[in-house]
Amino acid sequence: MKTTYNRVTPEIVASLRQIVGQDGVLTTPEALEPYSHDETVGLSAPPEVAVRVTSAQQVAQVLRLAQRQRVPVTPRGAGYGLSGGAVPLHGGIVLSMERMTNILEIDRENLMVTVEPGVITGELHRAVEAEGLFYPPDPASLDSCTIGGNVAEGAGGPRAIKYGTTRDYVCGLEAVLPSGQIINCGGKLVKNVTGYSLVQLLIGSEGTLAVVTKIILRLLPLPKVQVDLLVPFDHFQAAANTVSDIIGHRILPTTIEFMEQDSILAVERLLKKDLPYATAAAQLLIQLDGNTQAAVEADMELVGDICLEHGAHDVLVAKDRPTRDRLWEARRMIIDALNHESPVNHMEDVVVPRAVIHHLLKGIKEIALDHDVRIVNFGHAGDGNVHVNVLKDELADEDWAALVPVITEEIYRLALSLGGTITGEHGIGATRRRYLPMALDGAQIELMRRLRDLFDPNQVLNPGKIFP
């Protein structure tokens, strides 16, 4: 079924101005340029108009207008997604949440925070940490991305191994259905089995089922002690064995990140300085937390011993903020460094059961050799979630264009053969939708499509996403 949409007319723009005010509506090509892409390399499509809303009521009015006029609406947080979820493939209206940036309440007694969707994730971190509270999900783009985008994508991050992903913290949502109806699901409740969980259905639905306008998140007490370890290995296999062994010793670290040597070298070239252990084939970046110095140090000693038993060259320990920042510097700069190495590149986000991650990395190396292309891996060893970066380097444009789909399919086939799937935290969005049938059987895709149609029979909300 092919849906056709109408263009945004001057009358529609006038109506939008009535809804959100004159300065909430952008129409010039220059003003619209930032709304034509997210962080997905090589994907861009301009909207016809961008609307910056400030309330659920405005969202409802915009959606009702769009339904009447059959104009597509693409909701947008900060545009830091990595699968094109916020890119308006069919033009129409971009519905930007950038002005809904209020932290409405930090409820210390209930360990809950209520926020508008445009709040920057890192700002939320700082606001609750100032109160001794903790919101664990920490996607890499946390200083730029928004909570609303995190909910839409089901965002993860390094701390997921111990603390889970965005999904595990959302207790309540106010959302506007494609029809313009405003619903309130859940609340400041950690237990709730009153009907189907629309909260959980909306999380990770990539802006295709509803527009989230208010979010209630549960918080934890902020751990009092934290320590970080940087551990270099000669082989990734040894690092992978170390991860299994740490968990086998009943320690669940806050993070177990890994970086292959190529990613460290790329950061060295970008920063023009030496980084620790750049000669090691792989590094683990392990964070431990807890409430007493003694308990965290006991875990640290044990983890350090396990690393050394598995052949780690060394264990670099950071107990204070400056040292910690130095340890994390390389990890945080990898994407920038790879973009610097090869401005055209392609990033995948496959996930496998934790224990087979070394099979995944070995297979990816074979794929790189087969196609004579550079592939650099880093990511979340504790979660089996690998960010696979294929670099164009000096390849001709047409060869690159032909190579990407081939290599993508090979990587997906490999991950799926290991019991994994095609995206752990970046989403299907625009870039992976053609591959969805590799990951899910036809019955499931059909069921999901009918779910979408139930919410949005006219496919006005974020069309061109998820479904092949």
Q: Which of 23, 29, 190, 398 binds a second copy (CB under 8 A)?
A: 190
What 3-state class would DSSP assign to 221?
Answer: strand
Q: Label residue 21 left, alpha or beta by phi (over 0 means left) and psi (-120 to 50 means alpha).
A: left
Q: Closest Cα to residue 171, out of 204, 113, 218, 239? A: 218
- In the list 69, 96, 114, 165, the residue contacting a second copy (rule: CB under 8 A) is 165
Confirm or reject binding of residue 447 to a second copy (CB under 8 A).
yes
Residue 180 DSSP code = S
Task: Pick the binder of a second copy from 123, 143, 168, 410 (CB under 8 A).
Answer: 168
Among the listed ranges 113-121, 307-315, 329-337, 383-391, the one in contact with a second copy (CB under 8 A) is 383-391
What is the number of helices (H) and of strands (E) in the chain?
Answer: 15, 18
> Which is it for strands 182-186 and 170-176: parallel, antiparallel or unpaired?
antiparallel
Q: Does 24 bind a second copy (CB under 8 A)?
A: no
∠ Cα 285 287 288 (to 5°): 150
Rounded least distance, CB 39 to a second copy, Å: 16
Q: How far is the CB of 402 from a second copy (least distance, A)?
A: 25
Question: 239: part of which helix (H) or strand (E)?
Answer: helix 236-248
Please identify, among the stretches 25-33, 217-225, 279-287, 394-402, the one whose residues bind a second copy according to the rule CB under 8 A.
Answer: 217-225
In the bound state with a second copy, the residue whose beta carbon lies nearer, of 166 and 345, is 166
Please report how close the Cβ of residue 334 comes to a second copy at its closest, in angstroms.
18
In the three-class reduction of DSSP (H, G, I as helix; E, B as strand; rest coil), residue 249 is classed as coil
Kindly indicate which of the ranges 13-21, 175-183, 267-275, 323-331 contains the residues binding a second copy, using the contact rule CB under 8 A.
175-183
Q: Which residues contact 102 (CB under 8 A, 6 or more apart)?
A: 115, 116, 119
Which of 14, 31, 104, 295 is close enough to bind a second copy by CB under 8 A? 295
| Of the candidate residues 12, 93, 203, 373, the single one contacting a second copy (CB under 8 A) | 203
DSSP 262-327: HHHHHHHHHHTS--TTTTSSEEEEEEEEES-HHHHHHHHHHHHHHHHHTT-S--EEE-SHHHHHHH
Q: What minimum distance in Å lies between the beta carbon of 423 and a second copy? A: 5
**181 binding a second copy? (CB under 8 A):** yes
- Work out which of 47, 77, 148, 204 binds a second copy, going by CB under 8 A: 204
1 binds a second copy (CB under 8 A): no
Among 79, 384, 463, 464, binds a second copy (CB under 8 A): 384
For a second copy, which stretch binds (CB under 8 A), given 13-21, 43-51, 340-348, 418-426?
Answer: 418-426
Q: Buried (b) or exposed (e) across 439-457, using 16+ Cβ within 10 A?
A: bbeeeebeebeeebeebbe
Q: What are phi and psi of 388, to 5 degrees?
A: -100, 120
Lateral strand order in the sheet of 103-107: 103-107, 112-115, 211-218, 170-176, 182-186
Span 125-144, contacts to a second copy by CB under 8 A: 132
Interface pick for a second copy out of 164, 276, 304, 311 (rule CB under 8 A): 164
Segment 219 to 278, residues that bind a second copy, using CB under 8 A: 220-222, 224, 244, 247-252
Residue 81, Cβ neighbours under 10 Å: how many? 30
* Residue 266 or 461 having the CB closest to a second copy: 461
Minimum gap (Å) between residue 130 Cβ and a second copy: 14
**Shortest distance in whole angstroms from residue 1 CB to a second copy:** 17
- 215 with 172: CB under 8 angstroms? yes
Shortest separation between residue 298's beta carbon and a second copy, angstroms: 6
Site string for a second copy, 84-123 (x = CB under 8 A): -----------------------xxxxxx-----------
Q: What's the min distance (Å) between Cβ of 21 and a second copy?
A: 27
Per DSSP, the three-state class of 234 is coil
Q: Does 457 bind a second copy (CB under 8 A)?
A: no
Q: Nearer to a second copy by C-beta: 21 or 132?
A: 132
Give the range of 86-94, 113-121, 227-235, 295-303 binding a second copy by CB under 8 A: 295-303
**Residues contacting 431, CB < 8 A, separation 6+:** 40, 43, 83, 84
* Main-chain dihedrals φ then ψ at residue 207, nearest 5 degrees: 65, 20
**Dmax over Cα atoms in the chain, in whole Å?**
71
- Determine which residue in the list 48, 98, 153, 289 makes contact with a second copy, applying CB under 8 A: 153
Residue of the chain from 197, 370, 393, 402 that contacts a second copy (CB under 8 A): 197
CB neighbours of 1 closer than 8 A, spacing ≥ 6?
Answer: none
For a second copy, which stretch binds (CB under 8 A), given 4-12, 264-272, 308-316, 449-457? 449-457
Please state the closest distance from residue 13 (CB atom) to a second copy, in A. Answer: 29
Of 196, 274, 321, 398, the one binding a second copy by CB under 8 A: 196
Closest CA to 53 of 43, 45, 63: 63
Which CB, 103 or 440, lies closer to a second copy?
A: 440
